[in-house]
Amino acid sequence: MERCKKKNIINLINKMSEANDAVMKAVPALPEKFTDVFAQCQDAAFEIGTYLETFGEQYRSMVEELEDYCEKIYQMSIATSEENTCRKLSKKIRKQLSRLQSRIQQEMPEDRKEVVFLPYKASMWDSLESVWRAADEDENTDAYVIPIPYYDKNPDGSFRKEHYEGDLYPVDVPITGYDEYDFENRRPDMIFIHNPYDNMNYVTSVHPFFYSENLKRFTDQLIYIPYFVLGEIDPDNEAAVKGMEHFCITQGVIHADKVIVQSESMKKIYVNVLTDFMKKNIGQDTREYWDRKILGLGSPKFDKAVNTRKEDVDVPEEWLKVIEKEDGSWKKVIFYNTTVQALLDHREKMYRKIRDVLRVFKDNQKEVALLWRPHPLIEATIRSMGLEGGEEYREIVETYLTEGWGIYDDTADLDRAIALSDAYYGDGSSVVELCRERGVPVMIQNVEVVGERIQGRNVSRKTSR
């Protein structure tokens, strides 16, 4: 059966019932506009009947029911001044439509579900991947992965360069072009997003068509799953909760029908923050609404991090030159992560810290392989916000690339980097939580500390440096 037809038929019958109720309330003085209403009801019945006829004799009795309905509509249209006649016909129509709707619900086969996933950065695909795989394996579901374009922003908020990363996804993920899918006519049952910001991000923006507020028009269920995971905090720790309010109060959270977060504890924080926010702004207690809407089901990012095996990842030849020792054994691989937030918070100190870290690992390159994976939006942030020191940062990167003693990972595959790494060093971020979930030792860098050297095994016992 054509997807959505059953649902559309039921919607049409509901509208026909609403029209019948309106007639009941309006008699005996039916206004002239009801002439058009009667015609529309007959057109709807004809549309349903024509479709049912394509299935043969099985639904012939339903078609006859619709033909009888059309006859009653005609009789009502010529007896608008006869109150008793109209009321009797209307009562018969009500029972007739109720019976027809019940039969369609019970006898017609269920529609296939259509589910759409709208990632924008390929490196964030792991926040949706396990959900997509489950949908794709469901024999009654058609699942579509539709990468969407996004733009860097200028300091004035205008769009600059367009990006599209549809060619960067795993080879086993079939991609549908965003310009090939007709959202308005196909109306997928569910749409999953991982970008909650709409036009509120200072650095990047997805195409405005894909803002959460607009997407709601094309689906019954808009579902937001964060592209990040956060360190678990006590929901009663007011200072810690205050620091993450900006993750909770976003356009995607507000407009989505469901929001899936990493834990029940995180759900409690979202519910508390959003309840307080709405009470301050509209003066209403909305806790019950948010409690139904926010679901602490876990993050697909954890699924991906835990299930990606070191022996299964594809290691580029250039990386192997850095990782392998002369005897063929592997050095210890250290995942070095630098974030946008650390750059915004520390500016010049951050540049100095990066230089120092690179120096230390360069001095120890015979035993340790550095895998530097800066946040993919650092360059865009520097440009869009006009940060001082942008040239210095680019010079640091160019020097590192030219010298070639370490790995620079700007690919979309975060989980490969985690799988290959023996330890994590760098800024606090969602990558920290993924490493911890996988059992990778974590050490957070201290931007104030420079000029030291690695002190053998003692470094691994520290929590920050």
Tell me which of 1.10.1740, 3.30.2010, 2.60.40, 3.40.50 is the CATH number of domain 113-303: 3.40.50
Q: What are phi and psi of 370, to 5 degrees?
A: -90, 130
Tell me the torsion sign for CA atoms 297, 298, 299, 302.
Answer: negative
Q: What are phi and psi of 454, to 5 degrees?
A: -65, 130
**The domain over range 310-461 is classified in CATH as 3.80.10:** no
pLDDT for 460: 36
Whether pTM exceeds 0.85: no
pLDDT for 405: 97
Interhelix angle 390-403/348-363, nearest 10 degrees: 10
> How many Cα neighbours within 13 Å face the side chain of 100?
30
pLDDT for 455: 42
Rounded Cα–Cα distance for residues 332 and 262 (Å) = 30
- Report, as ranges of residue numbers, the positions in the chain whose pLDDT lies below 70: 1-4, 27-33, 452-465
Which CA distances in Å does 145 have to 70, 214, 326? 43, 19, 43
DSSP, res 329: P
pLDDT for 84: 86
pLDDT for 3: 60
pLDDT for 452: 57
The CATH number of the domain covering residues in 5-107: 1.20.120
pLDDT digits (tens, 9 = 90+) for 372-405: 999 988 888 888 777 777 889 999 999 999 999 9
pLDDT digits (tens, 9 = 90+) for 297-341: 999 999 999 999 999 999 999 999 999 999 999 999 999 999 999
pLDDT for 410: 94
Intervals of CATH 3.40.50 along the chain: 113-303, 310-461
Tokens of 274: 């959003």
Intervals of CATH 1.20.120 along the chain: 5-107
